[in-house]
Amino acid sequence: MPAANYLPDVLETTEAERVATGFVFTEGPQWHPDGFWYFVDIRVNKLFKMWPGKAPELVRTTIGGNGTTLDLQGRLINCEGEGRKVTRLHADGRVEVVADRYKGGRLAKPNDVVCHSNGSLYFTDPDKRVPYHEREVPGREGVDNLWDGAGVYRVAPDGTLSVLGLCEYPNGLALSPDERTMYVANTRSSKYIHALKLDAAGNMTGRSIFADMNEGSEPGIPDGLKVDAIGRVYCTGPGGIWVFSPEGRKVGIIKWPEQAVNFAFGGPDLKTMLCCAHTSVYTLRMKVPGNPHPYYKLHKV
């Protein structure tokens, strides 16, 4: 790997290991504490399961497929963008729709999703990913036209769907370790990371720009987004995965053999980073574990 991958406070290993290849466009990595990875190949509508050291296994056919997380019962939540919905995969293989409509209109293309410790699910829906005439979600109260901005949605534990906040082009998202900040990657026209301030119940109380990523000419956009156990923020961007301190200072960029699209922390100690990079998935070992999913904490995994 290039010398730029020398990040002594971040990386335990500096040379990425390719663990699987032959895909079209990998996305949506998620570690399950039972000991395997989930990820999707969104261009061919396939969800895979991969045990370390083994070949990926096809789990099911999706409708697009993109960002994933687990709910508090350890079931996979998947943003199926082309299907304009968020789904839940049950242990028996049954697929349940978690959200597909807001105020009577179909969602645009749900992109990424995270789980709060209170059981709420938050997901992004960048409406600019569909033609204007296909956008169905009504405007806000007092606005006659269609939804005048993409948003971050919240599915409450009782299934109620609401809008947390509007964003220009929301993509990846992640919660801080104390769950009082939600980071949202803004893609396309302006490349930056939002910081949405949350109260104890998970409601937005304010917002700011956490980091500007309008720098560099290498391929890559703000997309996959994660946080580690000490609050550092990781986001794909030009040239690789950018690393920021909790205060928003750029620490460096983790380089990969292919363009990084999305990634996740996993392994029994949460110190293995799995990167989805177009045709392949790669791993690196980290010095600090990822921020544990609420499911891990709840079940003391």
pTM check: above 0.85: yes
The CA distance from 277 to 21, in Å, is 10
Q: Which residues are CB-neighbours of 62 under 8 A, at least 6 positions away?
A: 40, 42, 45, 46, 47, 78, 80, 83, 87
Q: What is the mean pLDDT of the chain?
A: 92
The CA distance from 133 to 105, in Å, is 12
- Give all strands of the β-sheet with 170-175 in edge-to-edge order: 170-175, 181-186, 192-198, 204-212
- Give all strands of the β-sheet with 113-115 in edge-to-edge order: 113-115, 121-125, 150-155, 161-167
Contact predicate 236/199, CB 8 Å: no
What is residue 128's three-state secondary structure?
helix
Which residue, chain included where needed, has tokens 């909790």? 246
Residue 145 has a pLDDT of 46
The CA distance from 21 to 119, in Å, is 34
The CA distance from 111 to 300, in Å, is 29
Tell me the pLDDT tens digit for each residue of 254-279: 999 999 999 999 999 999 999 999 99
Domains of the chain: 3-298 (2.120.10.30)
Cα 124 to chain centroid, rounded = 9
The CA distance from 150 to 214, in Å, is 20
Q: DSSP H helical segments within the chain, as ranges?
A: 294-298
The pair of structure tokens assigned to 152 is: 């971050």
Residue 143 has a pLDDT of 44
Residue 217 has a pLDDT of 82
**E strand spans, 117-224:** 121-125, 150-155, 161-167, 170-175, 181-186, 192-198, 204-212
Cα 269 to chain centroid, rounded = 20
Overall residue count recorded for the chain in this entry? 301
Contact predicate 99/120, CB 8 Å: no
Contact predicate 236/262, CB 8 Å: yes
Rg (CA), the chain: 18
Residue 1 has a pLDDT of 43
What is residue 189's three-state secondary structure?
coil
Contact predicate 231/246, CB 8 Å: yes
Residues of the chain with pLDDT under 50: 1-3, 141-146
The CA distance from 95 to 88, in Å, is 6
| Amino acid at position 44, single letter | V
Residue 140 has a pLDDT of 52
The CA distance from 269 to 272, in Å, is 8
The CA distance from 140 to 158, in Å, is 23
